[in-house]
Amino acid sequence: MARKASKQANFNIMIVGHKGRLQYEAILFAASLRANSPDFKGRLIVAEPQPGKNWWDDPRIKQDDVRATLESLGAEIIPFESPYFGQHYPYANKIEGLAALPEGEPFVFFDTDTLVTGDLMSVPFDFDRPSASRRVEGTWPTLELYGPGYTEIWKSLYDKFELDFESSLDLSQPDEYWRRYLYFNAGFFYYKCPKLFGERFLKYAHDIKWDMPSELVCQSLDPWLDQVALPLVIHSLGGGRDALPEGYLDGDVTCHYRLFPLLYARESDRVVEVLEEVASPNKIKKVLKQYEPMKRMIYQGRGEKVRALFDRAHLPRKEQAIRNTIKRNGFWMR
**Residues 193 and 233 sit within 8 Å (Cβ to Cβ):** no
**Residues 115 and 222 sit within 8 Å (Cβ to Cβ):** no
**Residues 109 and 98 sit within 8 Å (Cβ to Cβ):** yes
What are the mean pLDDT values of the chain's consecutive 10-residue runs (334 residues total)? 56 97 98 97 98 96 97 98 96 98 98 98 97 95 93 98 98 97 98 98 98 96 97 98 95 97 97 98 97 97 97 93 97 94
Q: Where are the beta strands (DSSP E) in the chain?
A: 12-16, 44-49, 75-80, 107-110, 114-116, 132-133, 185-191, 254-256
Using CA of residue 58, residue 188, residue 143, residue 169, what is the dihedral sign? positive
3-state secondary structure of 135: coil
- Of 292, 279, 324, nearest to 306 (Cα)? 324
Please, which residues have CB within 8 angstroms of residue 112's CB and are 6 or more apart in sequence? 15, 16, 17, 22, 25, 26, 29
Please, which residues have CB within 8 angstroms of residue 101's CB and are 6 or more apart in sequence? 12, 14, 45, 47, 107, 194, 195, 198
Query: How much is the pLDDT for 8?
Result: 64
Classify residue 141 by its DSSP letter: P
pTM: 0.95
Query: How much is the pLDDT for 5?
Result: 45
Query: How much is the pLDDT for 155?
Result: 98
Query: How much is the pLDDT for 1?
Result: 43
The Cα 95–Cα 40 span in angstroms is: 24
Query: How much is the pLDDT for 145?
Result: 87
Query: How much is the pLDDT for 7?
Result: 53
3-state secondary structure of 175: coil
Neighbours of 42 (CB within 10 A): 17
